[in-house]
């Protein structure tokens, strides 16, 4: 084999790899579409509640919360105590925007969030995987700070 043949074979191998990765990302983007229920997220306690919805048009909406959020004594969401408001903020997060999949990364552009610092930002979730009805990813920069965490969802049927 001459040098030209070796370079051609290397280029074809690289092209095949890129095409395979693009096909895998396209399949993951199709597989992610739907509604998912939160099963595990360390920041939200042992039995969190939540939902994330991915639409075919590239839009998403997510809400995560602790299972044990305390009720407000006033029974009015606009007349809570400072401690009640803090408990709600510490124990919940909602955000929405657009998404795309690239390899094993989920790229989110946040149009709005109950954590205002995320509004207008791009967020990345890594190591996304769908196995059967389970969807999981690593959140490298949780909103509460701290180490990366794995978040697990179950497909809603």
pLDDT (0 to 100) of residue 12 = 60
pLDDT (0 to 100) of residue 27 = 83
pLDDT (0 to 100) of residue 145 = 77
pLDDT (0 to 100) of residue 1 = 61
pLDDT (0 to 100) of residue 144 = 73
Least Cα distance to 39 among 145, 132, 108, 140 occurs for 132
Which residues are within 8 A (CB) of 40 and not within 5 positions of it... i.e. 6 or more apart?
48, 150, 151, 152
Task: Write out the chain's pLDDT in tens, 157 residues.
Answer: 667 777 666 666 655 555 455 666 778 889 999 999 999 999 899 999 999 999 999 999 999 999 999 999 999 999 999 999 999 999 999 999 999 999 999 999 999 999 999 999 999 999 999 999 999 999 988 777 788 999 999 999 9
The alpha-carbon radius of gyration of the chain (Å, integer) is 20
Using left for φ > 0, alpha for ψ between -120 and 50, and beta otherwise, residue 34 falls in left
- Which domains does the chain carry? 3-155 (2.40.128.280)
pLDDT (0 to 100) of residue 19 = 47
């Amino acid at each position: 084999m001459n040098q030209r043949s070796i370079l051609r074979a290397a280029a074809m191998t690289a092209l095949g790899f890129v095409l395979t990765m693009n096909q895998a990302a396209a399949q993951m983007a199709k597989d992610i579409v739907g509604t998912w229920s939160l099963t595990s997220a360390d920041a939200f306690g042992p039995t969190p509640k939540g939902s994330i919805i991915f639409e075919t048009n590239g839009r998403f909406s997510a809400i995560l919360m602790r299972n044990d959020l305390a009720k407000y004594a006033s029974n009015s969401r606009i007349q809570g105590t400072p401690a009640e408001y803090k408990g709600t903020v510490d124990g919940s997060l909602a955000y929405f925007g657009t998404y795309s999949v690239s390899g094993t990364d989920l790229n989110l552009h946040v149009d709005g969030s109950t954590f205002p610092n995320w509004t207008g930002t791009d967020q990345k979730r890594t190591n996304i995987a769908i196995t059967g009805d389970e969807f999981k990813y690593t959140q490298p920069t949780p909103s509460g700070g701290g180490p990366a965490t794995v978040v697990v969802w179950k497909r809603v049927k």
